[in-house]
Amino acid sequence: MGKQAAILKADGLHKAYRMGTARVKVLKGVDLTVREGDFAAVIGASGSGKSTLLHILGGLDRPDEGTVSFDGRDLSRMRARELNRYRNEMVGFVFQFYHLLDELNVLENVLLPAMVSRSIAGWFMSRRVARRRAAEVLEQMGLSDRARHKPYQLSGGERQRVAIGRALMNEPRLLLADEPTGNLDSTTGNGILAVLERLNQAGQTIVMVTHDERIAARAERTITLADGKIRE
């Protein structure tokens, strides 16, 4: 397969957490390259640092050591504004526990990344385009008839699809998903995986975290995280 250029590169990532007086080293030198069009699964035992790694890749956390570069640009050298833009436009993040805003309905949750980056005036200028994109995403996720519902009215699988829809809203180059099926029964989980596979076939680059070998097997590339290091 003629692989595309690397879009995300992690080099020698270290991360430790302070637990009282002790320091728990979670990542001890992680190197990783993600190429355009990849569907990579990061697998590892619970507590092995998968979420930590994904957060660092998504610009939600900083490594103690090492660098993450996106399109050749080092995240740690980005200004706050650029980092906000990175989170807003370059990557879409799907959390294990959906993390939807309860006060907003499905449509508004999906629109959130588009709203966040715009002023009120800017929003009124571009809201038609954004609405069309959101409708398209909801259609893709099979949630068109749920647009006006609130998160508490949805099932777990539906919520996760809303979360994926939100992550896709701004057409990010990279989709990061942290155990997107971890909270769902296997049928519903399979539905979510099918959605991700379809997205990947359409060209979406995806990095997915899981601790389930069978799910990892569905990805085209499996990365194992153990003892704070990567094995491929």
Partner 1 sequence: MYKLKLITRYLLKRRITHFAVLAVALCVFIVVVVMTVMSGLVWGFKQNNHEFVGDCIVGTKSLVGFPYYEEFAQVLERTDFVTAVSPVVKNYALLRPDAIDVTAGVEILGIDPVRHSRATNFAQTLYYRADNPAAAFRPLYDPNALGCVFGIDLALPKSAMGQYAYNIRPTRRAYALTCFPLNARGAPSRSASMVATQRFFYSDHSHTGIARVDGSTVYIPLEQAQTLCMDGELKRVTSLHVKFRAGAALRPSCARVRELWNDFRQDKQDANDAYLLDTVTVESWKEHRRASIAPMEQEEVILSVMFSFVGMTTVFIVFVVFYMIVSHKTRDIGILKSVGASNASVMALFSGFALVVGLLGSGSGTLAGLWFLARINQVEGWLFEHFGWQLWDRSVYAIGAIPNRIEPGLLAVIIGCAITACQIGALVPGYLAARLRPVETLHGSRT
Q: Which residues bind ligand ATP (CB under 6 A)?
A: 17, 24, 26, 44, 46-52, 211
Site for partner 1 in 37-56 (CB under 8 A): 55
Name residues contacting partner 1, limited to 64-83 (CB under 8 A): 80-81
Please tell me the distance from the alpha carbon of residue 201 to that of residue 205, in angstroms, as a whole number.
9
Task: Determine the Cα–Cα distance for residues 95 and 20; give it in Å rounded to an integer.
Answer: 27
Select the binding partner of residue 48 from Mg ion, ligand ATP, partner 1, none (C-beta < 5 to 8 A, by kind): ligand ATP
Spatial strand order of the sheet with 221-226 comes to 91-94, 174-178, 205-210, 39-43, 221-226, 229-231
What are the backbone angles phi and psi of residue 155, rounded to the nearest 5°? -80, 170
80-119: contacts with partner 1 (CB under 8 A): 80-81, 84-89, 93, 95, 97-104, 108, 112-113, 115-119
The region, left, alpha or beta by phi > 0 then psi within -120 to 50, assigned to residue 47 is left
β partners of residue 217: none
Strand partners, 19: 22
With CB under 5 A as the contact rule, the residue among 7, 34, 51, 113 that binds Mg ion is 51
Closest separation in Å from C-beta 95 to ligand ATP: 11
Cβ proximity to partner 1, 70 vs 86, nearer residue: 86
127 vs 53: CA distance, rounded Å: 34
Q: Which of residues 197-226 bind partner 1 (CB under 8 A)?
A: none
For residue 124, give the 3-state DSSP assignment.
helix
CA trace torsion 23, 41, 69, 47 (10° rounding): -10
Q: 7-36: string of b/e by CB count within 10 Å (b at 16+)?
A: bbbbbebebbeeeeeeeeebbeebebebee
CB of 2 to partner 1, least distance (A): 33
CA distance 154 to 173: 28
Q: Is residue 210 involved in binding Mg ion (CB under 5 A)? A: no
Q: How far is the CB of 73 from partner 1 (least distance, A)?
A: 16
Q: Which residue is nearest to ligand ATP (CB)?
A: 51
For residues 177-196, which are near partner 1 according to CB under 8 A?
Answer: none
Q: Choosing among ligand ATP, Mg ion, partner 1, none, which partner's interface includes residue 39 (Cβ < 5 to 8 Å by kind)?
A: none
187: partner contacted, choices ligand ATP, Mg ion, partner 1, none (Cβ within 5-8 A by kind)? none
Interacting residues toward partner 1 by CB under 8 A? 55, 58, 60-61, 80-81, 84-89, 93, 95, 97-104, 108, 112-113, 115-120, 122-123, 166
Interacting residues toward Mg ion by CB under 5 A? 51
